Amino acid sequence: MKMRALIVDDDPLARQRIRRLSAEEPDLEIAGECANGAEAVDQIRRQPPDLLLLDVQMPGIDGFQVLRRLPAELLPVVIITTASDEYAVRAFEVHALDYLLKPVSRERFKAAIERVRKKLARRKET
């Protein structure tokens, strides 16, 4: 089963890094990329992904505001990707599955994606 992921980050280099790491995961398909929170909300409402790789610090609508603007039934599994560790507590308050610090390492990315696989498999069992 392919997992469809949406990358949301205002930094093109950060999106590129996530794309490269994602390409190493055969069951992970990038469904799209958004450079800001408003685009992300629109994209998720139109085609909800299985996984949201979400930056916190973005101009306008930040990552947490993206999550607040979505109905619960559209919320995908969330991995926060950010350059700062100061949002970790808030990330888990919004039920993020993982928290990756930039620059994202290959090992941490692989571990996070494995956690997503397990969570999605449990959802399918219920």
**Is 126 a member of any domain?**
no
How many C-alpha atoms does 71 have within 13 Å on its Cβ side? 5
The enclosing domain of 52 has a CATH number of 3.40.50.2300
The range of the structural domain enclosing residue 65 comes to 3-121
What mean pLDDT, rounded, does the chain reach? 96
**Is 35 a member of any domain?**
yes
How many domains does the chain fold into?
Answer: 1
**Is 95 a member of any domain?**
yes
**Is 60 a member of any domain?**
yes
Q: Residue 70 corresponds to which amino acid?
A: L
Tell me: pLDDT of 38 over 80. Answer: yes
How many C-alpha atoms does 7 have within 13 Å on its Cβ side? 20
Q: What pLDDT does residue 72 have?
A: 92
Tell me the pLDDT band of 21, cut-offs 50, 70 and 90.
very high
Of the chain, the end-to-end C-alpha distance in Å amounts to 16
Tell me the pLDDT band of 9, cut-offs 50, 70 and 90.
very high
